[in-house]
Homo-oligomer: A and B are copies of this chain.
Amino acid sequence: MGESIKIAVDAMGGDFAPGEIVKGSVQASRELGVDIILVGVKADIEAELVKIDIANLPIRLVEASEIIKDGEEPAFAVMRKPNSSVALATKLVKNAEADAIISAGSTGASMIAALQYLGTLSGIERPMAGGAFLQLAPKTVTLDLGANVSCQPYHLVDFAVAGSVFARTFLGIDNPTVGLLNVGAEEGKGNELTKAVYPLLKKSGLNFIGNVEGMDIPGGKANVIVCDGFIGNILVKFCEGLGRIISQWLTQELTYNLNLSDVEKVSSKLYGLMSPAEVMGGGPLWGVDGVVAIAHGSSRASQIVGTIKQAKLAVENGFVDTLRTELEKAQARISSEKTE
């Protein structure tokens, strides 16, 4: 057996930090066989650890002397506080003391720490956000979901590459199909951006199947569907809001036919399937030079275990190096048309 994978955990980030974060990390260490480095206020972490059995588990602590307080703008706070838990945990990855960092704190703070200490992969200006956000179509990864609001054509090629690598690594799809989100199936349809992206995707070397439309996301027509982050953000939030409304409607509608517990079960199951936050928990940031996995702010121990599992998978499968290589390949293929 090789050396264990080491996970740096931001113990202070998240609605239920440090309690649930510490608990989940210990559980992950036991269940997944990973080494854990808990970064935060030692006294607070130790107060949690005494409640749990950690005998013989490879868990160590790193003191974070600065704290990002409620009400601080997290992204700026992390820049001003290099000794905050998320900054220190990220630096452990930078210094190769850890293979990955996970945090349930502010996504903005994690992203800024990642940019500051790890940097982006070659040709990537800022991380991408994506995932199989609709569990009703679990084999379809959509991106960008809001990290990149204004896009140049070559950005969407990067998204397509990242989505393809993600689909192979995390969904086990061999030769993922790629679709360009558009208003019609025919080549030549669309706005200025999609018209410019189409020929780039054709020569990208990816398994590009052409334009797809809105219904093709739930329909799962392609494994990777790319769009600019403005649309992606709106789609994800639309889906989330729709899930809420539909499960309310369903609860009302079924109350006359079913007993309450069955009604609750169906409604909340559907809500879960449509809630991108529920579905996408624990995904890695795409495009930064290191494994940075984000858990929801509302994560409990079990979600922390899930996020650590995703981080471990990313490390084992060389997600970052594969993404680097694939991005370079695609960028070389389309370089003649790249616009800044």
Chain B residues positioned under 8 Å from A183 (CB to CB): 146, 149, 229-230, 233-234
Min CB–CB distance A156 → chain B (angstroms): 14
Find residues 249-296 in chain A having any chain B CB closer than 8 Å to their own CB: 249-250, 253-254, 257-258, 262, 266, 269-270, 273-274
Q: A-B pairs with the 3 shortest C-beta distances? A: A215-B241, A214-B237, A214-B238
In the complex, are the beta carbons of A234 and B237 less than 8 A apart?
no
| Chain B contacts for A136, CB-based, 8 A | 242, 245-246, 249
Partner pick for A246 among B182, B246, B258, CB 8 A cutoff: B246
Please tell me if the beta carbons of B241 and A217 are within 8 angstroms of each other in the complex.
yes
Which residues of the other chain, B, contact A238 by a CB distance below 8 angstroms?
Answer: 214-215, 217-218, 235, 238-239
User: Is A150's CB within 8 Å of the partner chain B?
Assistant: yes
Q: Contact check, A192 vs B150: say whether CB atoms are below 8 A apart.
A: yes
Q: Considering only CB atoms, which chain B residue lies closest to A253 in the complex?
A: B266
A219 within 8 A of B: yes
Interface membership of A35, Cβ < 8 A: no
Decide if A231 is an interface residue (CB 8 Å cutoff).
yes
The answer to whether A240 and B214 have CB atoms under 8 Å apart is yes
Taking CB atoms and an 8 Å cut-off, the chain A residues in 137-193 that contact chain B are 137, 146, 149-150, 181-183, 190-192
A216 at the interface (CB under 8 A from B): yes
Query: A250 vs B269: C-alpha distance in the bound complex, in angstroms?
Result: 10
Across-interface contacts of A181 in B (CB, < 8 A): 234
- Please, which residues of chain B bring their CB within 8 A of the CB of A236? 214
The secondary structure that dominates the A interface is helix
> How far, in whole Å, are A235 and B258 apart by their CA atoms in the complex?
32
How many residues in A have their beta carbons less than 8 Å from beta carbons of B? Answer: 50
Docked pose: A218 CA to B234 CA in angstroms: 12
Chain B residues with Cβ below 8 Å from A262 are 257
29 A-B interface contacts by CB (under 8 A): A136-B242, A137-B245, A150-B191, A150-B192, A183-B230, A183-B234, A190-B230, A191-B228, A191-B230, A194-B230, A213-B233, A214-B236, A214-B238, A214-B241, A215-B240, A215-B242, A218-B241, A218-B242, A219-B241, A219-B244, A219-B245, A231-B231, A235-B235, A246-B246, A246-B274, A253-B270, A257-B258, A257-B262, A257-B266
Cα–Cα distance between A235 and B219 once the two chains are bound (Å):
14
Most buried by B among A229, A235, A245: A245
The chain B residue sitting closest to A192, CB to CB, is B150
Is the Cβ of A234 less than 8 Å from the Cβ of B214?
yes
Q: How far, in whole Å, are A150 and B183 apart by their CA atoms in the complex?
A: 11
Nearest B residue to A215, CB-CB: B241
Tell me which of A181, A227, A237, A240 has the highest count of chain B C-beta atoms within 10 A of its own C-beta.
Answer: A237
**B residues within 8 A CB of A217?**
238, 241
Contacts of A137 in B (CB 8 A): 245
Contact between A191 and B149, CB atoms less than 8 A apart: yes
Q: In whole angstroms, what is the CA distance A257 to B260 when docked?
A: 12
Kindly report which residue of chain B lies nearest to residue A242, judged by CB atoms. Answer: B218
Interface centre among A182, A228, A230, A274 (most CB of B within 10 A): A230
Measured CB to CB, the nearest residue on chain B to A234 is: B214
A217 CA to B242 CA, complexed, in Å: 8
